[in-house]
Amino acid sequence: MWRFLLRKLPSVCAVALVSSVIAFILPRLAPGDPAVTVAGSDATPEQLEAVRELLGLNAPLIQQYLSWLSGVFRGDLGESFVMRRPVSTVIVDRMGSTLELAILAAILMIAMGLILGILAGTDRSRFGRAVLDVVTTLFLATPPFLTGLVLILLLGIVFPILPVSGEYSLLRDPWLGLQYLILPAFALALPQAAIVARLLQTSMRATRGEDFVDLARAKGVPPGQITRRHVLRNSLGPAVVAIGLRIGDLVAGAIVIEAIFARNGLGALAVYSVQSRDYYVLQALILGAVIVAVLLQLLSEIVLASLDPRIRLEG
């Protein structure tokens, strides 16, 4: 495994470097001036110029980038233009809410994706397969924001079972915090679970036609054992890789879901930072999202190699 990680290190560093450039440039492409946000719309040109000088926005872009990048290497993400606090502190304050949402959504995605995929990939009646295909297609075709609105309407208004807005920390009251999390987590997880289910279903149906499965049947191995030990184990590869990629999408999708359910996490912070042109906060959020996605991809490859003996990390 260590050889695998060392071989991947140059590409990971290259991706991080390119991502840092993109994270630096993207916020500056949006119209607007952070100095106006800080000084106010009625500020004079002289006051705006003084604010730009204070914020370091008058320096050449390459100098701004290198200064920010050197700070990142030292663990200094800069200071928020608007909140006048270290970016790392701002992000840590909001991270708990998003992590709670993303972790529960990931658990639901994995559980629903594997269950639906296994059911659809197992030999069943034509009607059963058709029903499962319709369910996964419906989940896949419905965007999270629409799913969230439907859940709010059904379980928050028509049948007022769960709270539909706000949040409560799981650390303070796990049961109450879970009630606030269920609806947004389901809305976030359903489309991703459908992708995992479809990949696992396709892989299982293809694996059932392999020679080693026919050999196991010829030896009289029970069907359930064939499914568990032979078909499922050798079909998990695409689903595992998809899970790693989809978890990154969960974090990205939290921006919309947090807005719908009025959660005060990183998604709400990203929206506020875009509106206020808070460059350093946006740069940290974009770079962090890319790095998390890369690490999840590496982890999924390691898990895949441990599940499938045909794959060797050092190969």
207: Cβ–Cβ under 8 A, 6 or more apart, which residues? 213, 230, 231, 234, 235
For residue 13, the Cα-to-chain-centroid distance in whole angstroms is 21
Among 20-29, 104-113, 273-282, 300-309, which is the least confidently predicted range? Answer: 300-309
Could you tell me the pTM of the whole model? 0.78
Cα–Cα dist 254/257, whole Å: 5
- pLDDT exceeds cutoff 50 at 197: yes
Instruction: Name the more confident of 248 and 183.
Output: 183
Answer whether residue 288 is part of any domain: yes
Stretch 175-201: mean pLDDT: 88
- pLDDT exceeds cutoff 60 at 162: yes
- pLDDT exceeds cutoff 70 at 309: no
Answer whether residue 25 is part of any domain: no
Q: Are 230 and 309 spatial neighbours (Cβ–Cβ below 8 Å)?
A: no
What pLDDT score was predicted for residue 135?
A: 84
Stretch 255-270: mean pLDDT: 84
Answer whether residue 116 is part of any domain: yes
The per-residue pLDDT for range 13-60, each reduced to its tens digit, is 888 888 889 888 888 887 777 888 777 777 788 888 888 888 788 888
Q: Are 203 and 169 spatial neighbours (Cβ–Cβ below 8 Å)?
A: no
The per-residue pLDDT for range 208-218, each reduced to its tens digit, is 777 777 787 78
Answer whether residue 13 is part of any domain: no
Question: Tokens 């990390």 appear where?
Answer: 313
What pLDDT score was predicted for residue 214?
A: 76
Q: What is the CATH number of the domain that holds 253?
A: 1.10.3720.10
Q: How would residue 83 be classed by pLDDT, with cut points 50, 70 and 90?
A: confident
What pLDDT score was predicted for residue 108?
A: 92
Stretch 192-201: mean pLDDT: 86
- pLDDT exceeds cutoff 80 at 241: no
Cα–Cα dist 157/123, whole Å: 40
Answer whether residue 43 is part of any domain: no
| Domain count across the chain | 1
Closest CA to 162 of 146, 145, 189, 181: 181
Where are the alpha helices (H) located in the chain, listed in sequence order? Answer: 2-29, 34-39, 45-55, 61-73, 87-121, 126-141, 144-152, 174-207, 211-218, 223-225, 236-260, 266-276, 279-307
In which domain, by residue range, is 269 found?
A: 95-307
Q: How would residue 315 be classed by pLDDT, with cut points 50, 70 and 90?
A: very low
Percent above pLDDT 90 for the chain? 3
Instruction: Name the more confident of 291 and 297.
Output: 291
Answer whether residue 161 is part of any domain: yes
Answer whether residue 10 is part of any domain: no
Answer whether residue 60 is part of any domain: no
